Amino acid sequence: MNIYVILKRTFDTEEKITLSNGKINEDGAEFIINPYDEYAVEEAIQVRDAQEGEVTVVTVGNEEAEKQLRTALAMGADKAVLINTEDDIENGDQFTTAKILAEYLKDKEADLIIGGNVAIDGGSGQVGPRVAEILNIPYITTITKLEINGGNVSVTRDVEGDSEVIETSLPLLVTAQQGLNEPRYPSLPGIMKAKKKPLEELELDDLDLDEDDVEAKTKTLEVFLPPQKEAGKVLSGEINEQVSELVKLLRTEAKVI
pLDDT at position 21: 76
Tell me: the pLDDT tens digits for 157-205? 999 889 999 999 999 999 999 999 999 999 999 999 999 999 999 999 9
Give the residue among 155, 103, 148, 149 at the shortest CA–CA distance from 130.
Answer: 103
pLDDT at position 196: 95
pLDDT at position 253: 83
pLDDT at position 103: 97
Domain ranges of the chain: 2-214, 227-257
pLDDT at position 24: 76
pLDDT at position 74: 97
Distance CA 110, CA 1 (A): 8
Ranges of residues in the chain with a pLDDT under 70 are none
pLDDT at position 19: 77
Distance CA 65, CA 6 (A): 13
Spell out the residues 6+ positions from residue 66 whose beta carbon is closer than 8 angstroms to its own.
82, 199
pLDDT at position 231: 78
pLDDT at position 99: 96
pLDDT at position 97: 96
Q: What is each CA distance from 2 to 49, 56, 73, 89, 244, in whole angstroms?
A: 12, 8, 16, 29, 66
pLDDT at position 230: 77
How many other C-beta atoms lie within 10 A of the C-beta of residue 171? 19
Q: Measured in whole angstroms, how far is the alpha carbon of residue 16 from the centre of its chain?
A: 19
Q: Which helix (H) or strand (E) holds 62?
A: none
pLDDT at position 191: 95
Q: Measured in whole angstroms, how far is the alpha carbon of residue 160 from the centre of its chain?
A: 19
pLDDT at position 226: 79
pLDDT at position 221: 84
Q: What is the pTM of this model?
A: 0.86
The letter for the amino acid at 71 is T
What is the percent of the chain with per-residue pLDDT over 70, rounded to a whole number? 100
Please give the CATH number for the structural domain made up of 2-214: 3.40.50.620
pLDDT at position 170: 96
